[in-house]
C-alpha cells in the first residue's frame, strides 16, 4: 500500500544530516511541522515550517519537558486513514495528519558516560520522543517513522528515488527499526537504575550488528554486536572472525592485569606464553619460549609499543592477531607486508565488569573476576622470599586466565608450564610439568599457582619432586591440613589466598 507524503513532523536532538532532508521535503511540497530548536534550524535552512504550538494552542512548557504531548499531535499520528470514525474525529477537532515523523531521542547513554550528576542524567530521559516514535511505528500502515540520525541517509535516498511515496514495506521496515531503537533506549535507562539494585530481570541491548564470515565453525552463522572501534584502531589485516574476537577479548582482559612490560600469547582463550621483562623484545622472546609450538596461529598482545626490533622477531612466526597500544612506523611497515595479519592498536584499557552466558532457557550473570587474592596467608615451612612472592603474584594472575582445572608454573616471571581445562587438578599439574620438560625448562626454584584448592596433598608432592619451592592457592579444602603439613615438612613456602579463580 503506497502513501504519498503530504506532511511531516520533525523534532530531533541531532540535526547533522537533516538539512538535505528538509530541503527535499520542501521541494516535494511536504508541509513541515516542528518545534523549538529544530524549527529554528529548519527555518535557518530557508525552509518554511509550521510551529507545533500553533496547532496545539499550547507553548512548550516546564522547561521544554512538555512540547508535543497533545491530542492534536498524537491524533495526527495515530489516526487510521481508512477508518471512517477516525476521519470524523480528525475533521471535528481540526487535527492535521502527519505522514512522516522524524524524531530521535535524547542522548541518555552518552550523558551517563560523560557525567555522574544524576540531575543531568535524569533530564536526558526522553518522554515525548519515545511516545511519538511508538505512536508512528504502531500506525506504520499510514505513517513513516524515522527514529535515528543513522536512518537519514536511507530516508533521503527513498525521497529521491520514490518522489515522496512510501510503500507498506518501507514503513514496516522503519517501524521495526523504531521499536528496536526504543527498546534499546529503555534497556539503557533500566540498566542505569538497576546498577545498585537488582529487580529480578536480566536485560541487555547492544547495537551495531557486524555480520561475521561464520561462527565458531564454518556451518554456524554469526554476528558481533558492539562497537569494536571504541577499543581498537584496526591497522591491517582481514576481518576479525568469531574465534578471533573471543581470543581478543581473553587477551585484553589478561593484559589489563599488568603494568610492567609484558608480552603474552593466547590460544583458544588460554595463555600459552607470557613473560614480564625490562623491555618489549625480551618480554616477547621469553613469552614465546614458554610454548613456541602452541604460539603458532595465536593471538599476541603486549602493553608496550611495537618497535622494529620486536617486529622483526614476531614476523618469523605465523600469528592471527597482534594487539599493542602503539606501533612505530617502521615496525608497522614491516608487519603490514603480510596483508592478512590483523594488527590492532588498543586505544584504551578494557576490563569487563559483568559476565553473562546463555544457559538452558535463560542466562547466567555474574560480576567479572577482578580480584587477585583476598589475603596473603603464609602457611608453609617458611615465609616466601621476595623473588618467590613476586613470581607467585604473577602466577596467580596468569592462572586466573586459564580454563579450569588450571595450574601455572612460573619462574622469573615467565610461564614455563601450564595445564588448563583438565578434569582433575593432578592432571593439570602433570600436563604443566610435561610442557615445561618439552621445552627444556628446569623447574628448580619455580613457583606454582592453582586456580582452586588442592583436595589432597598429591599436587604438593608432585610439585616438590620437580623443584617447585613455593605454592599459591586459595585453600578451603577440608584436607588443607595435609597440604600444609607436607609443605612444612619439605621446606616449601605455601600461600593461601582465600580467593578461587574457576573459569569454565
In whole angstroms, how far apart are CA 291 and each of 288, 294, 435, 471? 6, 6, 8, 22
Cβ neighbors of 228 (< 8 A, separation 6 or more) are 210, 234, 240, 245
| Cell numbers representing residue 62 in the block | 516546564
Written in H, E and C, the secondary structure of 206-225 is CCCEEECCCCCCCCCCCEEE
Distance CA 71, CA 59 (A): 14
Residue 185 bridge partners (DSSP):
none
If phi > 0 it is left, if psi is from -120 to 50 it is alpha, else beta; for residue 246 that is alpha
In whole angstroms, how far apart are CA 187 and each of 31, 119, 227? 35, 19, 17
Q: Is the distance from CB of 6 to CB of 97 less than 8 angstroms?
A: yes
Distance CA 413, CA 172 (A): 59
Active site residues: 138, 268
In whole angstroms, how far apart are CA 421 and each of 220, 269, 401? 24, 11, 11
Q: Is the distance from CB of 181 to CB of 101 less than 8 angstroms?
A: no
Amino acid at each position: 500500500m503506497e502513501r504519498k507524503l503530504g506532511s511531516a513532523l520533525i523534532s530531533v536532538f541531532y540535526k547533522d544530516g537533516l538539512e538535505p532532508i528538509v530541503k527535499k521535503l520542501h521541494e516535494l511540497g511536504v508541509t513541515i511541522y516542528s518545534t523549538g530548536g529544530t524549527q529554528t534550524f529548519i527555518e535557518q535552512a530557508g525552509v518554511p515550517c509550521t510551529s507545533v504550538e500553533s496547532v496545539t494552542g499550547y507553548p512548550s512548557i516546564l522547561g521544554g519537558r512538555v512540547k508535543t504531548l497533545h491530542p492534536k499531535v498524537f491524533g495526527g499520528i495515530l489516526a487510521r486513514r481508512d477508518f471512517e470514525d477516525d476521519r470524523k474525529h480528525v475533521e471535528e477537532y481540526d487535527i492535521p495528519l502527519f505522514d512522516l515523523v522524524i524524531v530521535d531521542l535524547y542522548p541518555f547513554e552518552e550523558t551517563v558516560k560523560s557525567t555522574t550528576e544524576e540531575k543531568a542524567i535524569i533530564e536526558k530521559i526522553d518522554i515525548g520522543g519515545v511516545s511519538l516514535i511508538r505512536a508512528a511505528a504502531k500506525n506504520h500502515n499510514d505513517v513513516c517513522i524515522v527514529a535515528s540520525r543513522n536512518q537519514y541517509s536511507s530516508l533521503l535516498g527513498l525521497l529521491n528515488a520514490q518522489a515522496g511515496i512510501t510503500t507498506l514495506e518501507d514503513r514496516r521496515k522503519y517501524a521495526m527499526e523504531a521499536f528496536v531503537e526504543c527498546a534499546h533506549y529503555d534497556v539503557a535507562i533500566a540498566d542505569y537504575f538497576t546498577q545498585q539494585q537488582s529487580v529480578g530481570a536480566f536485560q541487555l541491548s547492544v547495537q551495531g550488528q557486524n555480520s561475521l564470515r561464520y561462527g565458531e565453525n564454518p556451518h554456524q552463522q554469526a554476528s558481533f554486536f558492539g562497537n569494536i572501534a571504541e577499543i581498537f584502531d584496526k591497522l591491517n589485516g582481514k576481518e576479525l572472525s568469531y574465534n578471533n574476537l573471543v581470543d581478543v577479548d581473553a587477551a585484553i582482559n589478561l593484559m589489563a592485569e599488568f603494568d610492567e612490560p609484558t608480552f603474552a600469547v593466547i590460544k583458544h582463550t588460554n595463555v600459552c606464553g607470557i613473560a614480564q621483562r625490562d623491555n618489549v623484545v625480551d618480554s616477547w622472546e621469553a613469552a614465546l619460549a614458554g610454548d613456541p609450538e602452541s604460539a603458532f596461529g595465536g593471538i599476541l598482545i603486549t602493553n608496550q609499543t611495537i618497535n622494529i626490533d620486536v617486529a622483526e622477531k614476531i614476523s618469523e612466526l605465523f600469528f592471527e592477531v597482534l594487539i599493542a597500544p602503539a606501533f612505530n612506523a617502521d615496525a608497522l611497515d614491516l608487519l603490514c607486508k603480510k596483508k592478512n595479519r590483523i594488527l590492532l592498536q588498543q586505544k584504551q584499557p578494557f576490563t569487563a565488569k559483568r559476565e553473562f552466558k546463555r544457559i538452558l532457557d535463560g542466562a547466567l550473570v555474574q560480576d567479572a573476576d577482578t580480584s587477585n587474592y583476598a589475603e596473603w596467608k603464609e602457611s608453609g615451612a617458611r615465609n616466601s622470599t621476595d623473588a618467590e612472592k613476586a613470581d607467585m603474584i604473577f602466577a596467580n594472575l596468569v592462572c586466573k586466565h586459564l580454563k579450569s582445572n588450571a595450574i601455572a608454573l612460573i619462574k622469573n616471571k615467565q610461564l614455563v608450564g601450564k595445564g588448563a581445562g583438565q578434569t582433575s587438578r593432578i592432571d593439570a599439574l602433570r600436563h604443566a610439568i610435561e610442557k615445561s620438560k618439552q621445552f627444556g625448562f628446569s623447574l628448580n626454584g619455580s613457583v606454582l599457582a592453582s586456580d582452586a584448592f588442592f583436595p589432597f596433598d598429591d599436587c604438593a608432592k608432585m610439585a616438590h619432586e620437580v623443584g617447585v619451592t613455593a605454592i599459591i592457592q586459595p585453600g578451603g579444602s577440608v584436607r588443607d591440613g595435609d597440604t600444609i603439613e607436607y609443605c612444612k615438612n619439605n621446606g616449601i613456602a605455601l600461600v593461601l589466598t582465600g580467593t578461587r579463580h574457576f573459569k569454565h
